[in-house]
Amino acid sequence: MTTIPLQFEPYQSFFVVFSKNENAGPERAQNFASLSTASTLQGNWKVFFDPKWGGPGTVDFERLHDWTLDEDKGIKYYSGTAVYKKTFDLPLNFSGKKEELFLDLGEVKNLARVRLNGKDLGVLWTAPWRVDISTAVRNKGNQLEIEVVNLWPNRLIGDEFLPDDGIKNGQWPEWLSKGLPRSSGRYTFTTIKHYSKTSPLLKSGLSGPVTILKKD
């Protein structure tokens, strides 16, 4: 009998592949390392929301939060990529020896790319929102950059509060057919309306908490 212990995160799945080598013996290695929290990143974050898509540019977040709860409409209805930046040090109780460390983003809606000290650590698109930072982290002055991308509905919903300059009576709008500047202030254009101003917004952004985990 073969026993394979598996530990699933929400909505996670695995492929289990068995060797065709009849002489392959069983392994008793631990499949999943035990992790504990070494520290939680506190304090302000610099976050850039692209003005080309209605964002306010660079703002300070005193705490991580869902964009749809923000009072700034440029953030509340933002759809696209926002860039979070922060500088942090490792806890003082680290021995200085090389340890296996991970950065856990907590909750993300909907994709994230992580860069640490200029090193691209890849894209996260599902739980666990975690990357190995062992080869990139240093004791002090770590430069963290997280690009977070959400979905389109929030910007489409936000645009419904602005004048409707779309298709009327089956005709393309004049500004589009003649290549004229758009005056409505909308950022999106669709041929069919899927949302209204009363449609519920989708949770977006990096909600955290962002923590550093160490392998026990």
Per-residue pLDDT tens digits of the chain, which is 216 residues long: 667 778 787 777 788 887 777 776 666 666 667 888 989 999 999 999 999 999 999 999 999 999 999 999 999 999 999 999 999 999 866 655 567 899 999 999 999 999 999 999 999 999 889 999 999 999 999 999 999 999 999 999 999 999 999 999 999 999 999 999 999 999 999 999 999 999 999 999 999 999 999 987
The pLDDT assigned to 9 comes to: 76
Separation of CA 143 from chain center: 17
The pLDDT assigned to 31 comes to: 64
Tell me the pLDDT tens digit for each residue of 114-148: 999 999 999 999 988 999 999 999 999 999 999 99
On whether the CB atoms of residues 70 and 96 are closer than 8 A, the answer is: no
How many other β-carbons are positioned within 10 Å of the β-carbon of residue 96? 7
Strand residue runs (E) in 13-139:
35-40, 45-49, 57-61, 81-88, 101-104, 107-109, 111-116, 119-124, 130-132
Domains of the chain: 35-151+202-215 (2.60.120.260)
- The Cα 24–Cα 210 span in angstroms is 41
116: buried, middle or exposed (CB in 10 Å: 19+, 13-18, 0-12)? buried
How many other β-carbons are positioned within 10 Å of the β-carbon of residue 167? 15
On whether the CB atoms of residues 186 and 156 are closer than 8 A, the answer is: no
